[in-house]
Amino acid sequence: MKNFKKVIAFSMAALMVMGMVSCGDDKDTSSTAGGNTTESKADDKKDESKAESKAEGLVTTTKAEDVKPEDVKNESTGEVKEFTAFHAVPGTEISDDNEVQKIIADKIGAKCKDTWLTGQTAAEAMGVMIAGGDYPDFVTAGAALPQMVDAGDAVALDEYWDDYPNVKNFYSEAQWNAIKGEWDHVYLMPQFGKRYMYDTGTIHNDEAFWIQTRVLKDQDYPKLETLDEYFDCIEKFIEKHPTMEDGTPNIGYSILCEDWRYFCLENAPFFLDGYPNDGCCIVDETTHKAIDYNTTPTAKRYFKKLNEEYHKGIIDPETFSMNYDTYISKMSTGRVCGMCDQHWDFNDGELAIKQAALEKAELKGCTYVPQGIVIEKGIKERYHSDAALDVSNGITITTSCKDIPGAMQFINDLLDPEIHTLRNWGVEGEDYLVGDDGLFYRTQEMRDNAAQESYRNHHLCPYPYFPLYGGMALDGINACNPDNQPKEFYDSLSDEVKECLSAYNAETYTQLLNPSGENAPWYPMWSYSNNLTSDTDNGLAWANMADIKHQWLPEVCKADDFDAKWDEYMKAYNDNCDVKCFLDSLDVEIQRRIDVSEGKI
């Protein structure tokens, strides 16, 4: 029976569009309501930290009484347990002799070899594992997790966590229940969206229309509100500066359409209409009914604008066929003036620009700032939202793991305050210094080191796809990482970015956008749609909607006759997708979440 389930699981995984990191997934440790931070005295923070630690159940597990003898490094032999992990998203492997990884291993007696998606889609990679039943110790499986659970290949964390308080207390009982959902046990631990104390509010890690500071400077830092104004600014820049200094052509606008990342193309309409990132729909805040953003008048206007810009040569002609690596590679050259994307998705490209700018002055104006673009003036943009728990994605221990208690201890120890600081800040004296007030800071040399990929890969070890806190660090004094430390963040910015922020009376990226409001009880709906599979009517409708959009939207954007192609697209969409079935299921889930928030269920 189990083998039969694996065959079914493989077939489903191969057909699914993998939402490994959802359209609204918050990988940030930084998003905030408003982006303003008031620094308190160190002593006050320490007292607050103690209270918060007690309230959240944080435990420093490197104490002897908190660690089982069999779970730590053998002090006489120096033996370190070695685990393996696969995360079904692209990433960069650190070197085998990574220095901070060794320090962490020496302290907790364990290490993990992280591997990432290369040369396959997420569905293909996970489908092979599920079909064969052969896994590393840990996986970030995303939308394939239900198939793993059905095949009996995922470990029930709640059967072990009583001995691992940093794991058990990471989320509240209500949050763990939400993560468990309809399963009998908890099979994943979401890595992102957990805030300690409060957000510091510097980086906007979510979606926006991004634009290079050099483009804004060239136009004397205009106020961009509408889609037309945004593209008009880019068009004027390309007209004046068709090439980089070395003669390579500038690219006005780039769109990533590969696999699940096609949100860069398809989900802008709900932002343009002033709605937050529910991912799979618009929710009418009065009627509490789901609306299909794919067929709104704004959707048609948006794609017509992309069609116009494509024919003007502003949009990269290769944009609809390039993969993620090509997208990042082009961005890394500094040639791409703008795009619609989530910051975590293109961060590697921006880091490459910053590294290259250390030696090539022209690239210092090629990093990006967010713009809250809407379809018409008068609409309030809502690109920045408070952190939300994504119950559909997280780290899972697989049944291939031969040491489940050791794997639980590894996660537990990575949440130890000392280890958490090593993951996020690095080594004191090498990567940061500590002031008399207890605040961490860096020298320019330290910032330059952190901007170099070779240094990061050889020295730093964030274990980025294992659970971690955002907001404040666990000492209650500092931010979780340098990018979120307000003073350190600002001091680390290039002069070009500081000039740009100053022109808009801002000191952080989040201050370029409207403050986030309180999340609605149903938010985010992508945490529901990400769990859908094609074995249900609504899940099949959702998958068909994605397939049709993948097939038709690039053609709509390139068509010589936009209106005719749009009509063909809408006919194919309505003929092949049971949108009503999907929306009806969203309505039920929206009301259920409202009832939960009101204590009715």
| Number of neighbouring beta carbons within 10 Å of residue 244 | 16
- CA pair distance 159, 163, nearest whole angstrom: 10
- Termini Cα distance of the chain: 36
**What stretches in the chain show pLDDT beneath 70?**
1-78
- CA pair distance 496, 502, nearest whole angstrom: 10
pTM for the model: 0.75
**In the structure encoding, which two tokens stand for residue 288, read together?**
């509490």
- CA pair distance 164, 161, nearest whole angstrom: 5
In 16-80, at which residue ranges do the beta strands (DSSP E only) sit? none
- CA pair distance 419, 281, nearest whole angstrom: 39
Cα–Cα nearest to 83, from 303, 394, 409, 354: 409
**In the structure encoding, which two tokens stand for residue 40, read together?**
């308190």
- CA pair distance 563, 491, nearest whole angstrom: 49
Residue ranges of domains in the chain, CATH in brackets: 2-201+389-490 (3.40.190.10), 207-383+493-601 (3.40.190.10)
Q: If you ran DSSP here, which 8-state letter would residue 495 be given? A: H
What DSSP string runs through 216-229?
HHHTTS----BHHH
- CA pair distance 520, 502, nearest whole angstrom: 33
| Number of neighbouring beta carbons within 10 Å of residue 587 | 16
In 334-492, at which residue ranges do the beta strands (DSSP E only) sit? 336-342, 368-371, 395-397, 433-434, 440-441, 470-471
Computed over its alpha carbons, how large is the radius of gyration of the chain?
24
The angle at the Cα of 119, spanning 113 to 122, to the nearest 5 degrees, equals 75
Residue 209 is predicted with a pLDDT of: 98
**In the structure encoding, which two tokens stand for residue 318, read together?**
């290769």
Backbone angles phi, psi at 421, to 5 degrees: -65, -40
- CA pair distance 197, 195, nearest whole angstrom: 6
- CA pair distance 33, 351, nearest whole angstrom: 25
β-strands 440-441, 433-434 pairing: antiparallel
Sign of CA dihedral 509, 34, 388, 254: negative
In 48-177, at which residue ranges do the beta strands (DSSP E only) sit? 81-87, 110-116, 138-140
Q: Which residues pair with 429 in a beta bridge?
A: none
Cα–Cα nearest to 117, from 107, 127, 103: 127
**φ/ψ bin of 313: left (φ > 0), alpha (ψ from -120 to 50), beta (otherwise):** left
In 226-352, at which residue ranges do the beta strands (DSSP E only) sit? 251-254, 282-283, 290-291, 336-342
The amino acid at 407: A
Residues in the chain: 601
What DSSP string runs through 426-438?
--BTTTBEE-TTS
| Number of neighbouring beta carbons within 10 Å of residue 287 | 10
Q: If you ran DSSP here, which 8-state letter would residue 114 be given? A: E
State the angle between helix axes of 343-357 and 324-332 in degrees (0 to 180), rounded to the nearest 10.
40
Using DSSP's 3-state secondary structure scheme, residue 174 falls into helix
The amino acid at 213: T
**In the structure encoding, which two tokens stand for residue 170, read together?**
């990471």
Residue 388 is predicted with a pLDDT of: 81
Residue 157 is predicted with a pLDDT of: 98
**Under a CB-based contact definition with an 8 Å cutoff, are residues 583 and 277 in contact?**
no
Cα–Cα nearest to 557, from 471, 328, 549: 549
